[in-house]
């Protein structure tokens, strides 16, 4: 997928692997993704989680026939981080015709849980 001129490009989010059952994306913890106190911004984690879930959902539909949109997302911020990289692993919990639900685990370089998110995706026919 082309991330040019998107939020993902702005935040430095990169896809490491993409399969309909597992999406792996990384994001740097740097000036683009930190809050003023110098820690990873919770909103950046949410953007990473929704990006991974949305790519996974796109892989589970025919993109010529359907578009996917985030309907709801929650995030539990478990641990803080000041530098380095975080990795999101998104797995589908439910793949339906009109909705999908993804669990996204965001970890640090040592696989320590930073954020746990659940994202509901809507599947809408293209008209």
- Whether the CB-CB separation of 93 and 102 falls below 8 Å is answered with yes
Question: What count of Cα atoms within 13 Å lies in the side-chain half-sphere of residue 102?
Answer: 35
Buried b (16+ CB within 10 A) or exposed e, 54-84: bbbbbbbbeeeebebebeebebebeeebeee
Q: How far is CA 77 from CA 58, 69, 74, in A?
A: 26, 23, 10
- Whether the CB-CB separation of 43 and 93 falls below 8 Å is answered with no
Residue 14: enclosing H or E segment and its boundaries?
strand 14-19
109 catalytic residue (yes or no): no
From the candidates 9, 50, 83, 109, which is the catalytic residue?
50
Catalytic residues: 50
């Amino acid at each position: 997928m082309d991330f040019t001129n998107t939020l993902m490009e702005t935040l430095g989010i990169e896809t490491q692997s993409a399969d309909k059952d597992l999406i792996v994306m990384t994001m740097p913890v740097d000036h683009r993704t930190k809050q003023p106190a110098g820690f990873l911004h919770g909103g950046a984690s949410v953007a990473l989680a929704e990006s991974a879930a949305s790519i996974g959902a796109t892989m589970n539909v025919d993109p010529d026939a359907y578009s996917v949109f985030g309907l709801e997302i929650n995030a539990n911020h478990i641990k803080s981080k000041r530098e380095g990289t975080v990795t999101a692993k998104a797995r589908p919990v439910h793949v339906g015709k009109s909705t999908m639900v993804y669990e996204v685990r965001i970890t640090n370089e040592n696989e320590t849980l930073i954020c746990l998110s659940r994202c509901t995706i809507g599947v809408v026919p293209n008209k």
